[in-house]
A = this chain, B = another copy of it.
Amino acid sequence: MRVILDGMGGDHAPGEIVKGAVAASGEMDHEIYIVGQEEKIRAELKKYKYDKKKIHIVHAEEVITNEDSPVKAIKRKKDSSMVKGLSMVRDGQGDIFISAGNTGAQVVGGRMILGRINGIDRPALASIYPILGDKACLLVDAGASAESKAHNLLEYGTMGSIYVEKVFGRKNPRVGLVNLGVEEGKGTSVTKEAYQQLSQAPINFVGNVEAREIPAGACDVIVCDGFVGNVILKLTEGLAWNILKLLKKKFLDGMKAKIGALFLKSKLGELKNEFDYSEYGGAPILGVDGAMIKMHGSSNANAVKNTILKGIPYAEEGVVDMIKGAITDLEEIIAGEQQ
């Protein structure tokens, strides 16, 4: 496998990106091609010992920043690390593209450069959702599209199921549809229709899930539109952060509390780690004709390393081909809807 790594994307690029690449390289046989401004990347690489046969630099002069408009950036910055890296995967010079850069540009770049898989209407951004004290699950769509039709939700559930099975190695993953109540017939016209379609799909559809059940691990694949997905991810982040902040405040309030907190220091650290996204690996973009993974913009070397190591199966296990193989089933279900 050849990993194509965007050396210039993210808040800590290229330093942490390169450091993470070196760390990942030490734990696997695959080659890494770091795309970006050669001099800067070389200067970072010089800081470390690494196997020169396994890490290469591909020069790209331009950088797509978070301020860039996604469509314009992909169209105009032809010599950017992102456009060049995605083109390498399209042209068979790489097997998977990984970037911590501009999320919108990655989604657009995936669609425009790799192209949609024939038969998939809407590629999705799938985000890993941490389940406290348990295995993480996958949330699709995390915000690639603000609005979805029923058949998009069908696509999300099917693609998510394949990804969790192949990349997380979890057999027969439970796919749940976020809805107002568990009963069939709940929700909007879109979720009602999506329920019917997901029921017919060759996946382990467990029905509607209420948002209350998500943090308890009600399913392995959480299906929702990108607006709701964005709300779920950001609310989880904000609420966890505020609870930990309040805990800290309360535990420093008075001598007795401070003593208690001292005894619990390691446990509080463990709790914080439960929410540490850098342990879980990145967010795959699904439905494009090639493997690609988005990392959080603030990714440090550890997050980069984990994303590479945990993301490899997206390419190695042939997830893209499996999604292509599921298209006929999906088309039959969607055709049924339209009659």
In the docked arrangement, what's the CA distance between A133 and B240, Å? 14
Contact call A240/B238, Cβ cutoff below 8 A: no
In the docked arrangement, what's the CA distance between A56 and B215, Å? 45
Question: Which size class do A's interface residues fall under?
Answer: 35 or more
Contact call B257/A271, Cβ cutoff below 8 A: no
Pick the contact of A260 from B212, B226, B262 — CB < 8 Å? B262
- By a CB distance below 8 angstroms, the chain B residues around A322 are none
Q: Interface code A134-152, partner B: CB below 8 Å = 1, 0 otherwise? A: 0000000001001100000
Q: Given known contacts A257-B263, A257-B264, A263-B263, is B242 in contact with A180 (CB within 8 Å)?
A: no
A71 at interface by CB-CB < 8 Å = no
A211 at interface by CB-CB < 8 Å = yes
In the docked arrangement, what's the CA distance between A239 and B237, Å? 10
- By a CB distance below 8 angstroms, the chain B residues around A210 are 230, 234
Pick the contact of A267 from B146, B188, B216, B257 — CB < 8 Å? B257
- How many copies of the chain does the oligomer comprise? 2
Residue of B at shortest CB range from A246? B132
Q: Given known contacts A180-B143, A180-B227, A264-B260, is B232 in contact with A214 (CB within 8 Å)?
A: no
In the docked arrangement, what's the CA distance between A205 and B54, Å? 55
In the docked arrangement, what's the CA distance between A227 and B246, Å? 29
- By a CB distance below 8 angstroms, the chain B residues around A247 are 247, 271
Pick the contact of A188 from B146, B237, B245, B257 — CB < 8 Å? B146
